[in-house]
Structures are given as C-alpha cells and as structure tokens.
Amino acid sequence: MNLTAIQQAIHTLYEGDTDVPSSSEEDYSVRTRLINAAINRWEKEDGVLWNELWVKLSDAADGDTTTADGTLSYDCPSDFHMPGGYVRLVDANGSSTYYMVYPPHKAQLFDNEDKKVCWFDGNPSSGYDLNFLDDPDGSYTISYEYYKLADSLSSGTDIPEMGDPYFIVYFVLSRLYEIDGQMANATKAFQESESRLAQMKARNMQMGWYQDSRIEDWDLEQGVSGFGV
C-alpha cells in the first residue's frame, strides 16, 4: 500500500467519495504530513523494536563497508539509529572476526588494551561513526546489523515499512476529525488506529511455526558452564 493508495483510503473514509486531492493541493500536503506523523508515532512506540526496521549494512544505500589499513573510524549509513549486535570483519575467505560493541563512554577504559572492541558514536545531526579500538590492519568487509530510522513518504510510490498501513489511515482520520471538531468520530478513528498498533505489536513478538522461543544460554551451549561442567 503506497502513499497514493493511503491518500485514497483516507479521502474515501473521510469524505465518502473518490475525488482524491491531487499532489499539488493543500489537502494532499496536509494529509501527507499527518501520514508521516503516523509513521513517527509507530516508529517511537514505547518499548518496541520493530522487526521491519532491523536491517543489514550490506543492504544500506550508504555507509562504509570496507576497512583500510590505519583507519579506525568509519561512516555509518545515514538511516542508522542503533547497533544490532556484534560487528564482524570478514576476510577474503569469508571468515569472520567478531568485535564486541561497547557504549562510547567505555572506550576510554581500553587505551592500553589489545582487544576486539568497537563502539558507535555520533548524533542525528552530524551522523554516526563506527570506531575500532585497534587498527584492523588491512582491508576487510565490515558486517553488522542495525536498527534503522523509519522512512517518511513523499512520492506517490513510496511504501511505509510497517506491517499494517491502515494504522496510518485511521491515525490521520482521527486528526482530521479532531481538526474539524468532530470529537466522537475522532475518538472512534483513534481507537481503531490504536487497535491496529496493538495488533502490530503482538505480531512483532510472534515466532514462526516450530521455532524455538527459549532464552539462550550461550555459556551452556559452549560448554563453559552448566550441569556437570
């Protein structure tokens, strides 16, 4: 469901006809801004890390993907929000060296250490960087997963990343009714949008059929602790 289809759904439910505003009209612009406000509402839902926003560096449109001898800092993708686990450096044979990710304030603890350690620092204004404690000492492929920022919509063909775009439709409807002073309709539309948000949260936590949902014990798996060890 792209931006054009979302605009059509909003208009039909709101006005009861198919005379959808063109992209040059003010109503279209106002609704697009409300659509992006809905995306922001979904993205920032408290305590939820949406599966749709976990991505790989290798799939990003930008960001450094290869190390260079003597270089310790590398640009992250422009949509980077937070790291998703270990950083790996992959050699020409496909073998990976794993680097533990530390908070940036702990980097000062390792000045005299020789460890496989890295950290991310930066901000949305200037961008984020990946930093290595020690020189990678060669050219390796950088590999990591990260949690990205949600895409906003501007072109009619843009598609939101969330699983249920009708959350956007009812979110926008609630705001349009509120602007019009139709509070009963605004409340009804808001309740529908929140119901769809709750459904997405539930699906976000669901595992596929026959998948293991236990808490992993890596020490036990690697034989360094547990019963009889």
What pLDDT, on the 0 to 100 scale, is given for residue 209? 78
Rounded CA-CA distance 179/174 in Å is 9
Name the pTM for this structure. Answer: 0.85
Rounded CA-CA distance 36/24 in Å is 17
Write out the chain's pLDDT in tens, 229 residues. Answer: 999 999 999 999 999 999 999 999 999 999 999 999 999 999 999 989 999 999 999 999 999 999 999 999 999 999 999 999 999 999 999 999 999 999 999 888 887 777 889 999 999 999 999 999 999 889 999 999 999 999 999 999 999 999 999 999 999 999 999 999 999 999 999 999 999 999 999 999 887 777 766 666 656 555 555 555 5
What pLDDT, on the 0 to 100 scale, is given for residue 226? 55
C-alpha distances out from residue 7 to 14, 41, 85, 131, 172, Å: 10, 18, 37, 43, 10
- Terminal CA-CA length for the chain: 54
Q: In what order do the strands lie in the sheet with 73-75?
A: 73-75, 127-132, 117-123, 96-102, 87-90, 141-143
What pLDDT, on the 0 to 100 scale, is given for residue 169? 98
What pLDDT, on the 0 to 100 scale, is given for residue 207? 78
Rounded CA-CA distance 195/226 in Å is 43
